[in-house]
Amino acid sequence: MARKPLMAGNWKMNNTIGEAVVLAQNISNQYEDRWANECDVVVCPPFVDLKPAKTVFEFDRVEIGVGAQNVHWAESGAYTGEISVGMLKEIGCGWCIIGHSERRGYFGETNEDVNKKAKALIDGQIKPIICVGESLAVRDEGTTLDFVCAQVRAAFAGIDGSLAQSCVVAYEPIWAIGTGRTATPEQAQEVCAAIRVTLSEMYGAEVAEAMRVLYGGSMNPGNVEELIAQPDIDGGLIGGAALKAESFIQLIKACL
């Protein structure tokens, strides 16, 4: 794999501050210096846990990044309940997941919203992790590649190639999230390759080859090796298996 892998833990709505500090500390305790060169490691806790997790990693001087799970595109203003890029920046948050299927499904996040969030994050120099993925209905219909590639095009609309490079795309088939049902390595590779072709059509082969495409959806220590062995899968966005230090570390080790 020429691209440096990225392993990002999506904690979703789990862990109070106290629990987050314990988990961050357990991950940090197992940090090895070679991670810095061989694999980018990021945890994406709930907003309130960002600063505490960041503090643990800073105190331990380990290269583990923190990311948010959502952001608003406006700089500030009357958006009750929302968090801005500037607020995330101040915490030292280097990454942000956007367009997760749970946000699209439960909170009505649209492709247009994802695009606005991506632009705001890029402006603020926070790296977007842009999630795309099809439902089981779309897969059964046989239109997965069209559907996912349209999501990619919409997310990157109006974003220049030099800026797109800071983004990561995470392919997460909705039917594989939290279900224990993983996409086969071939299924995941097929879609991740199509995503890269789309990026190449938009930005040229050089940019597309430099960008990371992750797989997410029930990734675990038992299936990680064969997934990341695929040529177009550059790491994982991990939910359930990122909530325990032991399994998260095992996933990271698969990338070293």
Q: Where on the chain is the footprint of ligand PGA (CB under 6 A)?
A: 10, 172, 177-178, 216-219, 237-241
> Which amino acid, 26?
N
- Bridge-partner residues for 129, per DSSP? 97, 168
Which candidate in 102, 109, 134, 172 is catalytic?
172
* CB atoms inside a 10 Å sphere around CB 141: 12
The residue (of 165 and 218) whose beta carbon lies closer to ligand PGA is 218
The residue (of 14 and 55) whose beta carbon lies closer to ligand PGA is 14
Q: Which residue is nearest to ligand PGA (CB)?
A: 239
The residue (of 94 and 161) whose beta carbon lies closer to ligand PGA is 94
Tokens of 116: 């606005």
Indicate if 172 belongs to the active site: yes
Closest approach of Cβ 10 to ligand PGA, in Å?
A: 4
Closest approach of Cβ 172 to ligand PGA, in Å?
A: 6
Residues 152, 116 contacting (CB under 8 angstroms): no
Residues 9, 43 contacting (CB under 8 angstroms): yes
Element (H, E) at 131: strand 127-132
Please state, in angstroms and rounded to a whole number, the distance separating the CA atoms of residues 129 and 126.
Answer: 10
Which candidate in 63, 72, 100, 190 is catalytic?
100
How far, rounded to the nearest angstrom, does the alpha carbon of residue 44 sit from its chain's CA centroid?
A: 9
Closest approach of Cβ 100 to ligand PGA, in Å?
A: 6
Indicate if 209 belongs to the active site: no
Report the catalytic residues. 100, 172
